[in-house]
Chain A
Amino acid sequence: MTRLEIFHLFQRSGFGLSPLEYEKVKPLSKSKIIDYIFDKANLNLASKVDLPEDYYQKKKNAEQGIGKDIFRKTDQKATARLGGLWLEKMADPSSSALLEKMSLFWHGHFACRPKKGILAVNYLNSIRKHSLGNFKDLLLAVSKDPAMLRFLNNQQNKKNAPNENFSRELLELFTLGRGQYSEEDIKECARAFTGWSSTPEGEFLFKRHRHDYGEKTFLNERGNFNGEEIINIILSKKACAEFLATKLYAFFVSDTPDSKHISSISDQIFDSNYNIEKTIRFMFFQDWFYNPALFGKKIKSPAELVVAQIKMLGLTFNKTSSIVFLMKLLGQVLLMPPNVAGWAGGRSWIDNSTLVVRVNLPYFLAKNIPPEIKAKGSLKDDKKNYASKRIDVSSNPKELLNWLSTHNSKRQTKELVNFLIPNHPELAKKQQPTASLLDQAISILGSLEFQLG
């Protein structure tokens, strides 16, 4: 593999390379590198993102009647807090970047705003656990996930009084896409999911007496279907594999669809019986995946951008709320997507305000320059509504600087540019030669070229 191909693969399959990882994989063959990526993912399958002990302590106390109001406030913020902790997990060198990237994809696909901390923990780890497994297991897990059932009003979906919200999104956003089913199919599908509910503690609960056991006609098939059988019917349609392939292509390859490549991904999904790992591995082996015309053409999502900054600048956030604040400014608070359709991605990440934050980001993070800007907040109170926060973070870019010091001092600027923005060596000439390497790194991390990957 060429240097640029390696950078491309690690950018798309994860959050970019760290200097140490780069030195490690550089001499390996393509299949060895791909094995390395998947082996690390499989080693991390059981890992979890969790809220800190103080959350559970407060929860326990509240259940015993102590500090109920305090806990309610803690719980309201817990979802966004977990999203911040997840971001730190993505940047952790011991984590699998592929597993986290895949989970980020599924979080956007099965977009959900869990209302309580514990629901968020279960939803996120359920997605992470199945992120490279079988799509059917993942879909079933999400369909039984209490955060999702509540988010899409399936708690209110009862025999004789169905609520179609979940079934509509199941068909439109999760599996088949528009145009593959009728309004009647949505209604019949909703009947099959009646009674899929959850306990107040946040466990899946099938409410037998609310379930409609009658006959349904769904996608031209007739039977006394339950939810799982409906899912089987959906998965038997090639349109479902095509829908997933289109989304995977947009996320991992390019914003511009290519029907030939999408169709080969779709075949892979269908023929492997919805095996996600096999499908992703297939993609990473294709020659078209390494078409140089695709290098550096995707706008990094805020999550990808912030994780890259954490890794390069050696950042430690002293408060998770600082990450949440940054992500708010950039337009992607994890676990709080704008709606069930997720984030639109691509150019929609960029407007004048998010771009200004992006180019100032490394200065806020490594130079402790206060941002002075405010994030759109909750709607609760006038004064607290817009909180301008100090970003509480410390930076120690020792991995990057140590690695640079192993190079001839005359070549360091060039190496730095080649490493951070491999597709834009021309920027080496534009660096201020008198500036320190750290200042040069900051300037590159705040460049428009670095926004792409």
Chain B
Amino acid sequence: VSSRDSILATIRANLPSPLPLPDVPYFDAGRGDDLWGRFVTAFKTMGGTVLEATPDDPMAPVRTRIADAGFVISRVSEIAGTHVLDLATDPRDLETVDVAIVRAAFGIAETGTVALTEAELGINTLGYLAQHLIVLLDPADILVNLHQAYQRPEFKTARYTVFHTGPSATADIEGVLIHGAQGVRSLSILAVPRSGVIPSF
């Protein structure tokens, strides 16, 4: 008998009486207003940095941030990096990236989370080996909470879907908070609609 079959047989012999599966509500009533404001508040408490967009020059804060960076990879059309990401690149070679710029698939207001898949990252290690990560987020792509988020198609279609909520962090030594444990040292967000038109907040 294979281990598979013996495990399943033991489970079947030991199954308690069946209990029903409950429906999960969305818990989103009354929480749909000011999603950008809710997102920003939550995102900051998780150690994220919000870049202030300027209507006449939307990408100015990003340009300022990458001005001194030697190796910048941009995965967005709004701004160019120093290098274009070749999808045939070995994931390990992204170790030398100073700043990576990507667009979020969507955001979550409750937790200040941005979601990325292999489509946005191009190469998944870009979101971790880079020293700093900048994410463009369309405020129209912000969902109320995790219950809404888990209705998104990415969980069925993408190979890899990840929520980033602030930068890589640890407090494993006496509870002292440190950013840049193994992954990015900072996570910055800029509100940029997919249309390219900056709204006023």
A and B bound? no
Chain A interfacial positions (CB closer than 8 Å to B): none
